[in-house]
Amino acid sequence: MIEKGNLISEGKAKSLYETQNQNELLMVYRDDTSAFDGKKKEALKGKGEINNKFNAHIMQYLDKNGIRTHHIENVTDTESLVHRLDMLPVECVVRNIATGSICRRLGVEQGLKFENPLFEFFLKDDDLGDPLINDNHIIAFNWGTEEEIAIMKEKTLIINKLLCKIFSDVGLILVDYKVEFGRKDGQIILGDEFTPDGCRIWDKETGESLDKDRFRKDLGDVVESYQIVAHKLGISI
């Protein structure tokens, strides 16, 4: 029986609690949904449960394919047990197709397909609006080492290959996504989550968005779209 201890941190969609084991934490997926650095917020019924199950499926698949993750097991419909990591304060984004912030930032045409996946680092800092940073900032401000930077890039790109395949096999395109890493016992391990809240997924046939862009752009049926993706991937909700 896992005991829910002190609240360690509360993000926009998840809360993290201590457990009776100091090396393991309880991650609670809430229905809360936010966009534009928290300026738009809503609770979407059922999203916490879908994201918890979606994340477990992806993390287990990655673990089986050589990417170590912090995921241990799902404990309830909305809670999972994870290894405690010392998180690096950076977000690793990979883009296969241009959309979102890169189009605004660089005036790139929406829908442009990258020949090679494009990797970007962002600083995890809500007050600053998660600015784009590069390797030199990470070194200069001691957010990580050269070696950790190389490992994060390598792992993020392996994750891209692994996930593009499973999405493509069921008629979906993984457009872009964000992942975060942490340290444990001298290793760099995948932390946080992989859910439709943190990636863009398009239907191959129709080009329809089936991810958080539905919420950002008021397209409706947000949870229903997450459910469609989960169903296609064989995740039972």
Asked if 42 contacts 215 with a C-beta cutoff of 8 angstroms, the reply is yes
Stretch that binds ligand C5P, among 8-16, 25-33, 158-166, 197-205 (CB under 6 A): 197-205
DSSP-derived 3-state class of residue 35: strand
Q: Contact between 191 and ligand C5P (CB under 6 A)?
A: no
Q: Contact between 117 and ligand C5P (CB under 6 A)?
A: no
Measured distance CA(22)–CA(83) in Å, rounded: 9
Interface residue with ligand C5P among 160, 176, 181, 188 (CB under 6 A) is 176
Interaction pattern, residues 72-111, with ligand C5P; x per rule: CB under 6 A: -------------------x-x------xxx---------
Q: Contact between 144 and ligand C5P (CB under 6 A)?
A: no
Measured distance CA(22)–CA(3) in Å, rounded: 11
Q: Shortest distance, CB of residue 48 to ligand C5P, whole angstroms? A: 16
Interface residue with ligand C5P among 200, 209, 210, 229 (CB under 6 A) is 200
Measured distance CA(137)–CA(28) in Å, rounded: 32
Measured distance CA(110)–CA(33) in Å, rounded: 25
What is the b/e burial string over 97-108, where b = at least 16 CB atoms within 10 angstroms of the residue's CB? Answer: bbbbbbeeeeee
- Going from the C-alpha of 8 to that of each of 25, 39, 84, 198, the distances in angstroms are 9, 23, 11, 21
Q: Shortest distance, CB of residue 186 to ligand C5P, whole angstroms? A: 27
Interface residue with ligand C5P among 25, 163, 199, 210 (CB under 6 A) is 199
* CB-closest chain residue to ligand C5P: 100
Give me the sheet containing 132-133, strands edge to edge: 132-133, 113-123, 90-97, 172-179, 199-203
Q: Shortest distance, CB of residue 156 to ligand C5P, whole angstroms? A: 11
Contacts to ligand C5P by CB under 6 A: 91, 93, 100-102, 130, 176-178, 198-200, 212
